[in-house]
């Protein structure tokens, strides 16, 4: 197991849809383990596979580090939202989009079909905060980040702020 580097937006791998996993072999299990190591190291509650640079349809979720929310810990392979209901707004952030956060409107409840790491197809239901995390991570698999969900002035201000964050990161990188 190993911590991988988080890919930073607007890297290409974050902007294109990921590939479905055909066969859950040792290599896939290794990638999943690397995802867990990486997410815990960076204190995330969810991670999509393309965030470590692998364009595969896998997400992991662990909401247990956050207090007062339903603890959900799962690895979802080839996940698909098959039903959704209601609305909620949550201030989202992303390990691949450092330094900015913005309120995003999403469904309150979602039903998801996915394979478990053992290759079994299962149906999962999420509501409230875990549903936010699931929808955020599944967006990644489609080549979308939460910035793509913003509109109008909020989108412009958040993108402007993010450009400044990127410049700052670039300066730090050039110094080291």
Strands across the sheet containing 121-127: 46-48, 58-62, 73-85, 109-115, 121-127
- Look up residue 128 and give its DSSP letter: S
Q: Is the dihedral of CA 69, 72, 76, 80 positive or negative?
A: negative
Of the pair 77, 136, the CB lying nearest Zn ion is at: 136
Our CB check for Zn ion shows the closer of 17 and 119 to be 17
Q: How far is the CB of 173 from Zn ion (least distance, A)?
A: 21
Which of 41, 31, 78 has its CA nearest to residue 62?
41
* Nearest distance from C-beta of residue 71 to Zn ion, angstroms: 20
Which residue, 120, 136, 141, is CA-closest to 19?
141
Torsion (CA) 111, 16, 148, 52 in degrees, nearest 10: 80
β-strand partners of 124: 112
> Which one of the listed residues 5, 54, 125, 137 is annotated catalytic?
137
137 counts as catalytic: yes
- Of 94 and 141, which has the nearer Cβ to Zn ion? 94
Tokens of 62: 């662990």
Tell which positions 89-128 bind Zn ion, by CB under 5 A.
94
For residue 93, the minimal CB distance to Zn ion (Å) is: 8
Cβ closest to Zn ion, residue 94 vs residue 104: 94
Contacts with Zn ion by CB under 5 A: the residue count is 1
Q: Which residue is nearest to Zn ion (CB)?
A: 94
Q: Does 14 bind Zn ion (CB under 5 A)?
A: no
Q: Find the shortest distance in angstroms from Cβ 83 to Zn ion.
A: 23
Where do contacts with Zn ion occur on this chain (CB under 5 A)? 94
Tell me which residues are annotated as active site: 137
């Amino acid at each position: 197991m190993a911590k991988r580097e988080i890919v930073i937006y607007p890297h290409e791998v974050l902007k294109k849809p990921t590939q479905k996993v055909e066969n859950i072999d040792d290599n896939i299990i290794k990638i999943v383990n690397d995802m867990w190591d990486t997410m815990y190291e960076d204190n995330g509650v969810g991670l999509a596979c393309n965030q470590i640079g692998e364009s595969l349809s896998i997400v992991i979720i662990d909401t247990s580090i956050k207090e007062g929310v339903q603890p959900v810990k799962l690895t979802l392979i080839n996940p698909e939202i098959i039903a959704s209901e209601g609305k909620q707004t949550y201030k989202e952030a992303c390990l691949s989009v450092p330094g900015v956060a913005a309120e995003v409107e999403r469904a309150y409840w979602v039903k998801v079909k996915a394979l478990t790491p053992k290759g079994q197809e299962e149906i999962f239901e999420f509501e409230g905060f875990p549903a936010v995390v699931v929808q955020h991570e599944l967006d990644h698999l489609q080549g979308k980040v939460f910035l793509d969900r913003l509109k109008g002035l909020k989108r412009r201000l958040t993108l402007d702020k993010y450009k400044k964050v990127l410049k700052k990161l670039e300066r730090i990188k050039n110094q080291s």
